[in-house]
């Protein structure tokens, strides 16, 4: 046999083999196979979720939610330790009525039945990996997006989170004074946060964690009418401001002098009728891109 004939024969065999891979019987669409496919997509989603880096938990305190919203009446009350002379001095934890409402978030994709029947499942794996990374990083998006909006968004005392005139009581507890936790400017904002305490400057509230879901029941109206299966992720969460005393925001240039001024300001902060809030302030930088 000639070399040309041999090469032609090999190519014909390869083409026949390739054709056989796509001309076989369609995958049996039943509940067992659909369940296996769901578990496979979920495994891809979960692996991507585990491996995605996040930063929100470095600046926010995570609070589980038991209802549609949570009221933080204790925000702003930092009773300090004192020598016990006479009766206890009781601090009310209902001075501020600050509520964070849980919001519902979702991301959904559809997979045609024919794609599963033709065993084209692998082409969707990158999509579910991206969905897992997106879900994992969603708290970053909310937390750091909220931080960036702090110059124009109100916190528990009715002032913008970063403001020039937060009202607080002085050491005597009888006179109201104002405190600034910001530097004005026109540049890209940067922040100094105290994350050394149990209370954080940002609250991450979680009612229902991110959950991977799917609709593959043949009796579902959408599946019957459109011949497509749905897969997605859902969560009920939200981010809100905690104590402004634990944060300093600046739109001035990030220089050694401005950083020192911000740190000095935080070390002088005092929560309403409470101890210095910036004593252990540390760390600065620009918020990550949401």
Backbone φ and ψ of 172, nearest 5°: -75, -20
- Pairwise CA distance, residues 278 & 226, whole Å: 58
Give the pLDDT of the chain (290 residues) as one tens digit per residue: 554 444 444 444 334 333 334 445 677 788 889 999 999 999 999 999 999 999 999 999 999 999 999 988 777 665 566 667 778 665 554 445 689 999 999 999 999 999 888 888 889 999 999 999 999 999 999 999 999 999 999 998 899 999 999 988 777 777 888 999 999 999 999 999 999 988 899 999 999 999 999 999 988 998 999 999 999 999 999 999 999 999 999 999 999 999 999 999 988 875 444 434 433 334 445 555 44
Q: Give the model's pLDDT for residue 117.
A: 87
pTM (global) more than 0.85: no
DSSP secondary structure, 244-269, as one string: GGGEEEE-S---HHHHHHHHHHHHH-
Q: Give the model's pLDDT for residue 27.
A: 74
Q: Give the model's pLDDT for residue 31.
A: 86
User: Residues 214, 44: contact at Cβ < 8 Å?
Assistant: no
Q: Which two tokens stand for residue 286?
A: 């620009």
- Pairwise CA distance, residues 134 & 127, whole Å: 10
Helix, strand or coil for residue 6?
A: helix
User: Residues 201, 269: contact at Cβ < 8 Å?
Assistant: no
């Amino acid at each position: 046999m000639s070399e040309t004939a041999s090469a032609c024969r090999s190519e014909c065999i390869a083409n026949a083999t390739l054709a056989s891979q796509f001309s076989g019987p369609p995958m049996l669409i039943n509940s067992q196979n659909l369940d296996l496919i769901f578990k496979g997509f979920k495994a891809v989603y979960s692996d991507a979720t585990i491996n995605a880096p996040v930063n929100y938990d470095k600046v926010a305190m995570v609070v589980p939610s038991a209802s549609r919203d949570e009221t933080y009446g204790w925000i702003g009350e930092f009773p300090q330790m004192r020598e016990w002379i006479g009766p206890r001095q009781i601090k009310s934890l209902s001075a501020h009525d600050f509520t964070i409402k849980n919001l519902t978030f979702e991301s959904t994709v559809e997979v045609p039945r024919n794609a599963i029947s033709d065993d084209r499942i692998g082409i969707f794996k990158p999509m579910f990996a991206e969905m897992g990374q997106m879900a994992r990083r969603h708290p970053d998006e909310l937390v750091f997006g909220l931080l960036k909006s702090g110059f124009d968004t109100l916190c528990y005392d009715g002032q913008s989170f970063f403001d020039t005139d937060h009202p607080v009581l002085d050491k005597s507890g009888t006179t109201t004074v104002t405190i600034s936790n910001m530097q004005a400017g026109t540049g890209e904002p940067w922040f100094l946060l105290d994350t050394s305490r149990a209370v954080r400057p940002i609250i991450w509230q979680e009612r229902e964690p991110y959950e991977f879901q799917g609709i593959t029941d043949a009796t579902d109206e959408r599946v019957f009418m459109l011949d497509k299966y749905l897969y997605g992720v859902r969560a009920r969460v939200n981010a809100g401001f905690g104590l402004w005393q634990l944060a300093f925001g600046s739109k001035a240039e990030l220089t050694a002098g401005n950083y020192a001024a911000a740190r000095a300001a935080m070390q002088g902060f005092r929560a309403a009728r409470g101890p210095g809030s910036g004593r252990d302030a540390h760390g600065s930088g620009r918020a990550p891109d949401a």
